Structure 1
Amino acid sequence: MADFPSAVEQADTVVVGARCAGSATAATLARAGRRVVVLDSARFPSDTLSTHLLWPAGVAELSRLGALEAVEELGAPRLTRAYAAAAGYAVASEFPQVDGIDYTLCVRRTGLDHALVRTARAAGAEIREKCRVTDLVWDGGRCTGVRYTDPGGRLVEIRAALVVGADGRRSTVAKLAGALTPYESTPSGRDCYFAYWRDPSGDRRDIAAQWRAGADLGTAFPCDDGLLLSLVQPPAEAGPRRPGDAEQRYAAALDRIPALRERLRDCEKVGRVRSATDIASYFRRSSGPGWALPGDSGHFKDPVTAQGIRDALHYGRLLAEAAAPVLDDPVRLDRAVTAWERRRVRECREIYHWTNRLARGTAMSPLEIELYRTATGDRALAAITTGIFSRTRRPAELYTPARTARLTAGALWHHRDDPRPVLADIAHELRRAAAEFRTSRTTLRGAPPAAPSSSPGTATA
């Protein structure tokens, strides 16, 4: 590879990564009249590791982006009912409306991402596939572009007012900007394994279902092409991975969740089991002079609450809306991008804590069981829980002082012969709540610590 680029181009924005966050950013900027070049190492259609459930808020983002029609043409059924079962209790509810959308979609990433790429291209963004970014270009402490290798192996440089790293958890842009190490991180207590099943059931293909049994969690989400996505999240297992581990752990978890195994009884597994292990939720520094990190490159939550696609689309769009009017003014651009990052931290920290609670990988506590027990006869409580996943309600609305007192009283009544597990659970929850409060008011106060502007080995102007 040559040491110097064979071409130097100019754009308003370079977006690295063309999937959810990248396409949302690019389409929005292009519609605002900005020249956007999007670089991706893949050639679309292309798959990626993902559990790809979109709650109504995520579907609404597809609609705002202008991609919903293309996504729905892929044939995924509208999931209009939510079902959750645990400890002998089952809770059924409908989904809340977000911009008139009251259903969930589970769409495989090959089709979903291709639809998003086509949407960004139709909006006016230039999509360059099979291109791999190798360096950021710096002018003093400011990022002013990227260098990448094209499909023919040529080194090309693009100068831009803003470089957007929408390139996932192993983000090249985050690494080159010195922001790869999170300033807040919580390891998951669960591993994740999932597979697709040919689903002949006609009467259950409108239900998004979840089961908890012991420390295990499993789901069944009907998706496109007549398939069903079934995911299990058993407690995380330490140690090296061996060939066949994913298949074995997946099958073992299904056997520990009899209701999920029954849901799959007439289904036929298609393809291999896929896995995500050593998972950690995090916040990274996501903005600096001339650069920003929407999507998983800057913030990631455990897949147990299925928030990633919605947040990638939502904050990619908001980044573009904030940046588009001020791309020609570096001072105003930096202020806008910093404000965008702080907004994401403020808006996501509560669901971050909620996700980490569900990702503990432990058996259900007495208070959790009491929540399920109460929700079976309390439609309002079930609606709040579904609304939290859909981002129309806040976790704080579930555990109000009055409701917490009622749940505690109920748990103590059902453990009246031996209240010690309930008392231990209460003490544990109080400690956890205090720790979350401290984290929100310090590390996640909305103003992340500054990151270095560049790292050794990056290109300079």
Structure 2
Amino acid sequence: MAVERTDVIVVGARCAGSAAAIALARGGCAVVVLDAARFPSDTLSTHLLWPSGVAELAELGALERVLAFGAPRLRTGSASGAGFTVSGRFPAVDTIDFALCVRRTGLDAALVATARQTGAEVRERCRVTDLVWDHGRVTGVRYRDDAGADRELLAPLVIGADGRRSTVARLVGATQPYRAMPSGRACYFAYWRDNKPEWRSVAAQWRAEALLGTAFPCDGGLVLSLVQPPDAGGRPGPAEEIYRDSVSRIPELVDRLSGCDMVGRVRSATGLSSYFRRSSGPGWALPGDAGHFKDPVTAQGMRDAMRYGRLLGESVATRLGDPVLLDAAVLAWERRRERDCLGVYQWTNGLARGTALRPMEIELYRSAAGDDDLTTDLLGVFSRVVEPSRLLGPARLPGLAIGAMLRGYGGRGTVAADIADNARLAVVEGIERVLARKRPLPEIPPHASSAPGAEPSRPAENVLPQGEAHG
């Protein structure tokens, strides 16, 4: 078996992997990226980037390549429900004031090209089959190359940026989340030939009963339309049948898509669960969906994959020569990601409940529809410039509660129950955020072997839901 050495191995070349590779190469490291795909390559993804995600593309040096695909700049965000519409311009993030929806074939290829230009070596059609261990430390990978030959590659750090079904996570025994929340929604989406030029700069969302639907104009003259009905559990029915039925029950989405023809098949992801997995250990790290995943209802996945992939690369680039400093840097990176993302994770779980708008949500829509500052805050949560706790925290909840009670949405009993539930949830989530800053992360059981070059133990593979649904 051919054996090579490098500074860092990155498994997976999409958002998190390319971002980490770019940061490491900028830091002067020799980086080899392995991916089973050949680019351009599609992946199951709803691929909307709010301005904060577009700002990450700019930080990585990939934005101009991505803009060349011709996706329109989405400068307006619109959300409608219960007869109210909230619409406004996105607050700027590092001068970026627009969202983008670019299909993954182009976006991922642009990231790979940028990684190569920066100095990373990207090897396509290479599938990792095993990890190399030395005294409980990951020291490399074994993989099958594009010619079918088995090879071994050694490095002080292996980064598993290989998605929810991460091979690296499985081989280090980190597939079991330490924090998880099943989604109450399924996800179905399709592309339509867009015939509505007046909507080409608007990222729109609608709520109708328990349904949620969106329309995001993208490259190729298309619009990506996603629906998220409640997840019924068990085996879902035919995807296209569920999708078309859900669209038909959201009147505003029907109007948005009128005169548009669906292109290609309906794609789906069901049985989703948001989670945090332990994402650092001796010689390994898990950025992107491999370590942390949120339901696509808030479209945060790609932004976080790129941001924390980049921050991981920046954190370790100068510490690869000392295992103690390296492990400390990777652990600090993991703790930072948890602190930064926990509030958005909690907010996402609330929107993923699969229920109709609740009284205080209706009051939020009503209030924001006539309040530019509140609209900016609402859009700022999606763009990660406003914490969800500021939008629905102690300073604002009493006013929303009073407004909901005065208007009696669904009856006083329903309003009172929702107020009590929101107050309870605010306390529980606040405690969780405080504890996350103080409590150590759960330990990964030590690797069974302590002999140099010994084979790793084989943890049982976690059964994961179908599909890869990235926001």
| Structure 1: distance between partners of 2:299 and 2:78 | 15
Say yes or no: does 1:459 pair with 2:455: yes
| Structure 2: distance between partners of 1:181 and 1:444 | 21
Deviation at 1:419, TM superposition (A): 1.2
Which residue is equivalent to 1:161?
Answer: 156
Which residue is equivalent to 1:449?
Answer: 442
2:41 partner amino acid: S
Q: Deviations over 1:249-300 (max 9, x none)?
A: 1111111101001100011100000001000000000000100000000000
| Structure 2: distance between partners of 1:44 and 1:433 | 44
Q: State whether residues 168 and 297 of structure 1, in contact with CA within 8 Å, keep that contact through their aligned partners in structure 2.
A: yes
Which residue is equivalent to 2:298?
Answer: 305
Which residue is equivalent to 1:334?
Answer: 327
Which residue is equivalent to 1:58?
Answer: 53
2:201 corresponds to which of 175, 184, 206: 206
Q: State whether residues 142 and 453 of structure 1, in contact with CA within 8 Å, keep that contact through their aligned partners in structure 2.
A: no
So what's the TM-score if we normalise by structure 1?
0.96
Deviation at 1:458, TM superposition (A): 7.4
Q: Deviations over 1:314-360 (max 9, x none)?
A: 00000000000111111110110000000000110000000000000
Say yes or no: does 1:344 pair with 2:337: yes
Deviation at 1:431, TM superposition (A): 2.5
Deviation at 1:396, TM superposition (A): 1.3
| Structure 2: distance between partners of 1:212 and 1:288 | 42
Deviation at 1:438, TM superposition (A): 3.8
| Structure 1: distance between partners of 2:392 and 2:448 | 44
| Structure 1: distance between partners of 2:394 and 2:131 | 50
SS at match of 2:314: helix
Deviation at 1:410, TM superposition (A): 1.0
Say yes or no: does 1:430 pair with 2:423: yes
Gaps of 5+ in 1: 1-5
Say yes or no: does 1:231 pair with 2:231: no
Q: State whether residues 346 and 446 of structure 1, in contact with CA within 8 Å, keep that contact through their aligned partners in structure 2.
A: no
1:147 partner amino acid: R
Say yes or no: does 1:73 pair with 2:71: no
Q: State whether residues 287 and 338 of structure 1, in contact with CA within 8 Å, keep that contact through their aligned partners in structure 2.
A: yes
Q: State whether residues 149 and 155 of structure 1, in contact with CA within 8 Å, keep that contact through their aligned partners in structure 2.
A: yes
Which residue is equivalent to 1:111?
Answer: 106
Q: State whether residues 136 and 458 of structure 1, in contact with CA within 8 Å, keep that contact through their aligned partners in structure 2.
A: no
Matches within 5 A, 1:37-436: 37-242=32-237, 245-415=238-408, 418-436=411-429
SS at match of 1:251: helix
SS at match of 2:98: coil
Going from structure 1 to structure 2, the CA distance change for 1:390 and 1:195 (only over 3 Å counts) comes to: same
| Structure 1: distance between partners of 2:420 and 2:46 | 34
| Structure 1: distance between partners of 2:300 and 2:427 | 24
Q: Deviations over 1:72-118 (max 9, x none)?
A: 00110000011111000011111011110000000000000000000
| Structure 2: distance between partners of 1:230 and 1:202 | 15
Range with greater deviation from structure 2 (408-417 or 214-223):
408-417
Going from structure 1 to structure 2, the CA distance change for 1:15 and 1:200 (only over 3 Å counts) comes to: same
| Structure 2: distance between partners of 1:266 and 1:387 | 32
Deviation at 1:407, TM superposition (A): 1.2
1:368 partner amino acid: E
| Structure 2: distance between partners of 1:453 and 1:417 | 53
1:459 partner amino acid: E
1:89 partner amino acid: F
Deviation at 1:401, TM superposition (A): 2.9
Which residue is equivalent to 1:20?
Answer: 15
So what's the TM-score if we normalise by structure 2?
0.94
| Structure 1: distance between partners of 2:223 and 2:166 | 30
SS at match of 2:235: coil
SS at match of 2:268: strand
Aligned length in residues: 453
Range with greater deviation from structure 2 (103-112 or 393-402):
393-402
1:258 partner amino acid: P
Deviation at 1:403, TM superposition (A): 2.2
SS at match of 1:163: strand
Q: Deviations over 1:382-432 (max 9, x none)?
A: 110100000000011112434222111111111199411110101111222
| Structure 2: distance between partners of 1:418 and 1:128 | 60
2:368 partner amino acid: A
Gaps of 5+ in 2: 457-471
2:133 partner amino acid: W
| Structure 2: distance between partners of 1:352 and 1:403 | 20
SS at match of 1:203: helix
Deviation at 1:453, TM superposition (A): 4.1
Going from structure 1 to structure 2, the CA distance change for 1:139 and 1:458 (only over 3 Å counts) comes to: closer
| Structure 2: distance between partners of 1:157 and 1:447 | 34
| Structure 1: distance between partners of 2:264 and 2:410 | 49
2:147 partner amino acid: G
Give the aligned CA root-mean-square deviation in angstroms.
Answer: 1.5
| Structure 1: distance between partners of 2:410 and 2:455 | 69
Q: State whether residues 213 and 227 of structure 2, in contact with CA within 8 Å, keep that contact through their aligned partners in structure 1.
A: yes
Deviation at 1:443, TM superposition (A): 5.9
Q: Deviations over 1:182-216 (max 9, x none)?
A: 01100000000000000022121000000001011
SS at match of 2:318: helix
